């Protein structure tokens, strides 16, 4: 226990602190922007980012991953805030956490194994595209000076690591270019232009709503959607950080941790949040590996707001835009272009569909769910192909079935037989097959009854134990 704590908290102190500082600076404009999307005060997103990051650093299952207010969650909140207001959102946030905690207790993370690689690649690429698209309004068509600052930021972030190893390149870019902008009084948009920041700490509160069944019915659909989307994004992000750091994480603990963080967060005036792949990538790329980096990110975020708020609002937006563009470039899986050529066509289609739906809907959950559903359909189509081999000898006709017999293959199974025979011994050999469901048993019944109508004797052989039990339990024919 002590060794684990030392490894997760204090094995990379310098790297974690510096990375956390960079993440905190990058969190501010995003938290404000997500608050605006949801239709709430900017401080709601900032409080959420502070609370969730600090709490998840203790109770999460993936060290070095950043959780805070996110765009995917903010989009789901819009109708609730519009129709019922902030207090209902806070109640929904608490209920979201309770649902996530329960899902973690019931080990929801085991469902991650059902997400194919094509969906994972599509998720990462779509997120990279969304990160880039989110920056476009902050630099396109504003001014030539904005383009210059974005370009210089990209150069610093790309070149600095080749010469300076101890300080994260994004932090170098923020310090240098903010100083230049202030010194030259450059006409640039700043963080403060996104929304007003009040220099106050969050306080404990109980949502001012009626505690009755009607309120529950209002917030439950939103809370359930937020819980599923939050866990989906968090667990996928955890898997990506696992790959980036070549380490393992406890996905069920992460699920429980997300729940605990959102419960507490809701009582301190924050909107529901989850893991952020963009900020997590920034953290890892900046040298963050342990829980300390996540804790520093949340704590320093609040320090920036309370103590350095007047300075933070003067950070030029083009600098943060440049950092996020570099994040999108490094997040995108450029090998996926060769994957499109080399992978099976169905896998390539799944990846493209996942990306397209996420980009079109701006909703990661819809793309991932569509990708998983499409993969399932393709898989069913592949394994529904069955082969029936016929051999006749004397008065006996034997059919040898190869393949999986279930709802998607029963029509081909029924159509494969020749029923125009009489007084024969019909053997159906299932040695190379498996009977999976009631549809399969019904199809076998239909074949057997058709043969028996013409006074044929039907024998089933080669059934494995599970298939035989299912037929014995469900079949209506006498076989």
Closest alpha carbon to 4 in 376, 366, 253, 320: 253
Look at the block and give the residue holding tokens 């991953």: 65
340-355 pLDDT tens trace: 888 888 889 999 999 9
Task: Indicate whether 229 pLDDT > 90.
Answer: no
pLDDT bracket for residue 180 (50, 70, 90): very high
Task: Indicate whether 242 pLDDT > 80.
Answer: yes
* Burial classification of residue 450, based on how many CB atoms lie within 10 Å of its CB (0-12 exposed, 13-18 middle, 19 or more buried): middle
For residues 270 and 47, the answer to whether their CB atoms sit within 8 Å is yes
Look at the block and give the residue holding tokens 């696992």: 242
5-24 pLDDT tens trace: 788 888 889 989 999 998 88
For residues 146 and 188, the answer to whether their CB atoms sit within 8 Å is yes
306-312 average pLDDT score: 80
Q: Report percent pLDDT > 70 for the chain.
A: 98
Backbone angles phi, psi at 368, to 5 degrees: -65, -45
Q: Which pLDDT score, from 0 to 100, does residue 383 have?
A: 84
For 404: left if phi > 0, alpha if psi spans -120 to 50, otherwise beta; the answer is beta
Q: Which pLDDT score, from 0 to 100, does residue 424 have?
A: 85
pLDDT bracket for residue 478 (50, 70, 90): low
Q: Which tops the pLDDT comparison, 219 or 117?
A: 219
69-85 pLDDT tens trace: 887 788 788 888 888 88
* Rounded distance between C-alpha atoms, residue 422 and residue 454, angstroms: 5
| Three-state DSSP string of the chain | CHHHHHHHHHCCHHHHHHHHHHHHHHHHHHHHHHHHHHCCCHHHHHHHHHHHHHHHHHHCCCCCCCEEECHHHHHHHHHHHHHHCHHHHHHHHHHHHHHHHHHHHCCHHHHHHHCCHHHHHHHHHHHHHHHHHHHHHHCCCCCHHHHHHHHHHHHHHHHHHHHCCCCCHHHHHHHHHHHHHHHHCCCCCEHHHHCCCCCCCCCCCCCCCCCCHHHHHHHHHHHHHHHHHHHHHHHHHHHHHHHHHCCCCCHHHHHHHHHHHHHHHHHCCCCCEEECHHHHHHHHHCCCCCHHHHHHHHHHHHHHHHCCHHHHCCCEHHHHHHHHHHHHHHHCCCCHHHHHHHCCHHHHHHHHHHHHHHHHHCCHHHHHHHHHHHHHHHHHHHHCCCEEEEEEECCEEEEEEEEEECCCCHHHHHHCCCCCCCCCEEEEEEEEEEECCHHHHHHHHHHHHHHHHCCCEEEEECCCHHHHHHHHHHCCCCC
For residues 58 and 291, the answer to whether their CB atoms sit within 8 Å is yes
421-473 pLDDT tens trace: 888 888 899 899 999 888 999 888 898 888 888 888 888 888 888 988 888 88
Q: Which pLDDT score, from 0 to 100, does residue 329 have?
A: 84
**Within 13 A of 174's CA, how many CA atoms are on the CB side?**
24
406-412 average pLDDT score: 88
- Length, in residues, of the chain: 479
Closest alpha carbon to 308 in 19, 32, 21: 21
Q: What is the mean pLDDT of the chain?
A: 86
pLDDT bracket for residue 166 (50, 70, 90): low
Task: Indicate whether 157 pLDDT > 70.
Answer: yes
Q: Which pLDDT score, from 0 to 100, does residue 223 have?
A: 92
Task: Indicate whether 237 pLDDT > 90.
Answer: no
Q: Which pLDDT score, from 0 to 100, does residue 479 have?
A: 61
Tell me how far apart the 2 most distant CA atoms of the chain are, in Å. 101
State if pTM tops 0.75. no
* Rounded distance between C-alpha atoms, residue 276 and residue 26, angstroms: 12
CA 323 from chain centre, in angstroms, equals 22
Closest alpha carbon to 65 in 276, 326, 300, 328: 276
Indicate the angle between helix axes 465-474 and 438-453, nearest 10 degrees: 70
For residues 339 and 355, the answer to whether their CB atoms sit within 8 Å is no
31-53 average pLDDT score: 85
């Amino acid at each position: 226990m002590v060794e684990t704590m030392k490894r997760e908290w204090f094995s990379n102190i310098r790297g974690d602190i510096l990375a956390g500082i960079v993440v905190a600076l990058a969190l501010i404009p995003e938290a404000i922007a997500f608050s605006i999307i949801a239709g709430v005060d900017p401080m709601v997103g900032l409080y959420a980012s502070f609370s969730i990051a600090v709490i998840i650093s203790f109770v999460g299952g993936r060290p070095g991953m950043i959780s805070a207010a996110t765009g995917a969650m903010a989009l789901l909140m819009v109708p609730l805030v519009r129709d019922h207001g902030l207090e209902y959102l806070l109640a929904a946030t608490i209920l979201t956490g309770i649902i996530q905690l329960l899902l973690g207790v019931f080990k929801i993370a085991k469902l991650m194994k059902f997400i194919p690689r094509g969906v994972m690649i599509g998720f990462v690429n779509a997120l990279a595209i969304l990160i880039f698209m989110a920056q476009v309004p902050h630099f396109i068509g504003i001014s030539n000076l904005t383009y210059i600052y974005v370009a210089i930021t990209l150069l610093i972030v790309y070149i600095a690591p080749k010469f300076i190893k101890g300080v994260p390149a994004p932090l170098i870019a923020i310090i240098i270019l903010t100083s230049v902008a202030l010194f030259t009084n450059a006409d640039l948009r700043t963080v403060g232009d996104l929304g007003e920041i009040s220099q106050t700490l969050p306080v404990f509160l109980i949502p001012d709503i009626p505690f009755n069944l009607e309120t529950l019915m209002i917030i439950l659909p939103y809370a359930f959607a937020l819980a599923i989307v939050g866990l989906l994004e968090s667990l996928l992000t955890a898997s990506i950080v696992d790959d980036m750091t070549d380490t393992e994480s406890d996905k069920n603990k992460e699920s429980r941790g997300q729940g605990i963080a959102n419960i507490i967060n809701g009582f301190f005036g924050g909107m529901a949040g989850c893991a952020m792949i963009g900020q997590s990538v920034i953290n890892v790329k900046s040298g963050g590996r342990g829980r300390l980096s996540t804790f520093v990110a949340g704590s320093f975020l609040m320090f920036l707001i309370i103590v350095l708020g007047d300075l933070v609002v003067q950070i030029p937006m083009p600098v943060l835009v440049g950092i996020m563009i570099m994040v999108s470039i490094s997040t995108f899986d450029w090998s996926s272009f060769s994957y499109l050529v080399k992978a099976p066509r169905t896998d390539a289609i799944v990846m493209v569909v996942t990306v397209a739906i996420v980009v079109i809907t701006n909703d990661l959950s819809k793309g991932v769910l569509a990708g998983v559903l499409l993969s399932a359909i393709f898989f069913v189509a592949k394994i529904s192909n069955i082969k029936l081999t016929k051999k006749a000898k004397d008065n006996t006709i034997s059919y040898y079935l190869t393949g999986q017999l279930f709802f998607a293959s029963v029509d081909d199974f029924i159509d494969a037989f020749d029923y125009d025979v009489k007084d024969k011994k019909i053997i159906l050999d299932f040695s190379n097959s498996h009977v999976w469901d009631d549809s399969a048993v019904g199809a076998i019944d239909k074949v057997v009854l058709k043969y028996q109508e013409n006074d044929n004797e039907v024998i089933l052989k080669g059934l494995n134990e599970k298939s035989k039990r299912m037929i014995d339990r469900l079949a209506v024919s006498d076989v």
